[in-house]
Amino acid sequence: MNDEIYPVPTSWAQEAKIDAARYAADYARSLSDSSGYWLEQAKTLNWITPPTLADESSFAEADFGVRWFADGVLNVSANCLDRHLATRGDQVAIIWEPDSPDAAPRHITYAELHADVCRLANVLKAQGVRKGDRVTLYLPMIPEAAVAMLACTRIGAIHSIVFGGFSPDALAGRITDCDSRIVITADEGRRGGKAVPLKANVDAAAELVTCLDAVIVVQVTGGDVPMKTGRDHYYADVMAAVSLDCPPEPMSAEDPLFLLYTSGSTGKPKGVVHTTAGYLLWASLTHNLVFDYRDGDIFWCAADVGWVTGHSYIVYGPLANGATTLMYEGVPNWPTPARIWEVVDKHKVNQIYLAPTALRALMREGDSFVMQTSRASLKLLGTVGEPINPEAWRWYHEVVGQGRCPIVDTWWQTETGGHMISPFPGATALKPGSATVPFFGVEPKLVDADGKILEGAAEGNLVITRSWPGQMRTVWGDHERFFQTYFSTYPGTYFTGDGCRRDGDGYYWITGRVDDVINVSGHRMGTAEVESALVLHRSVAEAAVVGFPHDIKGQGIYAYVTLNVGEEPTDELRQKLVKWVRMEIGPIATPDALQFTPGLPKTRSGKIMRRILRKIAEGDVSSLGDTSTLADPSVVDDLIANRVS
Ligand code: WTA
């Protein structure tokens, strides 16, 4: 329990867009008059045909579906660009801060961004891309990533961004799953002074897929990369060959906007599908109100565009709101742990949005790296991706924000499109470690294991009982999996996969995943994915992977591996397997610990008892619970004796 409360600063209570009274009134109305509330909010978008319908969703199996504003017509790039041209064409849309502090930043105005987006849209058309086609983006953190996203939306193509840290195998799987003919990539990315071989990875992925016939390559480092004649084109060349004129394609509100692969508790990553109007409204409204964004503010979301946070809060939310959004190519602690705060000073950043893992890593380096900067421009601090421990929260508040800046701890998911539970800086007293209260239209509930709804102060599984505009619409190519994954566990509700506590003030405290998803440095990872990668190795018979508490990463990856008969459990093989997983999935999936074991703890029906594996990984071997139902209880002693610490 944590009883610390930070009241809303008076100036915020007086000046913020949402104060406590407004929050209470609008929240109540968003539930009692959902249609009226949402049709009114929808007016903040620019429509070709405004919608007359709001929510037509149902979570029940019989008439299951998620639909919002279905009779409306609009275009996302027109909302993010064209509508701003008359009033803020010369305003900077994107500030780009390069990896190296010695290289020159770029400032791209709305007019310039509009021109590049139109050109790239014409390039895509010339490559034969049509409305509804999928375009894979495998790009570093460069403005061309935003250009590529918006160019897709301009012609109604569906983008699928694959994080640049994913391996050729992971990339190939994602290209194949959505049958994408075209990839936009870069020669190399730059991160923390190192080059990331993006084009080489695309070449390797291309060997594994059959659908790919065009690759557009942005030259970032000028590195020498082989170009395949007929398939590969340099971005600068194709951009120079097309016209600037590309009218936005009218899109139906429910046409798919993008898909983004994310890890679940079972099987391969699923393509989360977001559609046009509901997603854009959710991203822009949450960006506007949760960050209390004001005209002229410089907003910095320090995520990668490869994750949903980058989609919603580097690109779509800020640009729909006519904001200036900062995009940073590098990593938080390079060349020194002061870099983030130096970038804040350099560009006079007003709101910064980070993952707790970055804060913990920087906090460990001591306060001096923060104190040597001014940070006077900061008004508000945000966090996302994992629960923030109160110690890191306080450090963020006191040291980084000098006690002046409210912190918005925003809970949400790839599936939700944008913030779901979060403080409003002018309305919500803060409690370190709590994501606090629901956003407008969000109705969270807690249920016990049997699905019984828990009232008042309670702890249980977090479900959402009604749809909201930013909700995902389906799993790409597998609508049944969408229903089964999220709506079958507690019928009639969307199950988040998170555990949660609600305190006596109605504040929500996310306790972490209750399924087999782990959260490593704010990145979602399915334990099943790491297991599949391990068993692909010829020495491995069986593998089980669990998360364990990790000081910096939040959770680390602990792998238990049973070898094939005749294989020796050597340190060399251990290192090989760790490297193998990195190669199969990418560096973010690198196991932190790998233990060889002659057997895994299984029930008589053959089910692996993960509870026991988690306890051993945590080092909590005194409370393993009942092991008598195991087929062979003696494996537990061996697991404990050979624990890797
Ligand atoms: C976790 C990232 C606690 C949670 C936007 C969720 C959080 C998963 C928070 C989604 C937070 C995200 N406090 N936990 N403020 N934000 N999570 O899809 O477990 O990458 O289910 O979306 O991250 O991760 P995803």
Q: Is residue 538 part of a domain?
A: yes
> Are 42 and 53 within 8 A, CB to CB?
no
Q: Tell which one of 270, 409, 412, 431 to mutate to probe ligand 1, the residue whose CB is within 8 A of the most ligand atoms.
A: 412
- Among 44, 452, 89, residue whose Cα is nearest residue 280: 44
Which secondary-structure segment (H or E) carries 475?
strand 474-475
Q: Is residue 636 part of a domain?
A: yes
pLDDT at 623: 82
Read off the CATH number of the domain in which 592 is found: 3.30.300.30
Q: Which residues span the domain enclosing 565?
A: 521-642
Local structure of 204: helix, strand or coil? helix
Instruction: Give the count of domains, the chain.
Output: 1
CA distance 363 to 394: 11
Q: Is residue 260 part of a domain?
A: no
| Beta strand spans in 387-443 (E) | 407-410
Q: Is residue 548 part of a domain?
A: yes
Shortest-distance Cα residue to atom 5 of ligand 1: 413
Shortest-distance Cα residue to atom 24 of ligand 1: 413
pLDDT at 2: 54
pLDDT at 606: 82
What's the pTM? 0.96
- Among 152, 94, 82, residue whose Cα is nearest residue 123: 152
- Among 399, 328, 329, 330, residue whose Cα is nearest residue 362: 399
Local structure of 369: helix, strand or coil? helix
Q: Is residue 278 part of a domain?
A: no
Q: Is residue 626 part of a domain?
A: yes
pLDDT at 115: 98
CA distance 535 to 541: 6
Q: Is 102 annotated as a binding residue?
A: no
Rounded to 5 degrees, φ, ψ at 310 are -70, -40
Q: Is residue 560 part of a domain?
A: yes
Sign of CA dihedral 108, 100, 410, 610: positive
pLDDT along the chain (645 residues), means of 10: 85 98 98 98 98 98 98 99 98 98 98 98 98 98 98 98 96 98 98 97 98 98 96 98 98 98 87 98 99 98 97 98 98 97 98 96 96 98 95 97 98 98 98 98 97 97 98 98 97 97 97 93 92 95 95 96 96 97 95 96 87 93 83 91 90
Q: Is residue 409 part of a domain?
A: no
Q: Spell out which residues line ligand 1, taking CB within 6 angstroms.
A: 262, 307-309, 384-387, 409-414, 435, 496-498, 510, 512-513, 519, 524
Shortest-distance Cα residue to atom 3 of ligand 1: 387
- Burial classification of residue 600, based on how many CB atoms lie within 10 Å of its CB (0-12 exposed, 13-18 middle, 19 or more buried): buried
ipTM: 1.00
- Among 619, 614, 609, 627, residue whose Cα is nearest residue 643: 619
> Is the preceding peptide bond at 569 cis, omega within 30 degrees of 0?
no
Span from the CA of 591 to the centroid of ligand 1 (angstroms)? 21
Shortest-distance Cα residue to atom 12 of ligand 1: 385
Local structure of 100: helix, strand or coil? coil
Nearest atom in ligand 1 to the alpha carbon of residue 262 is: 18
pLDDT at 369: 98
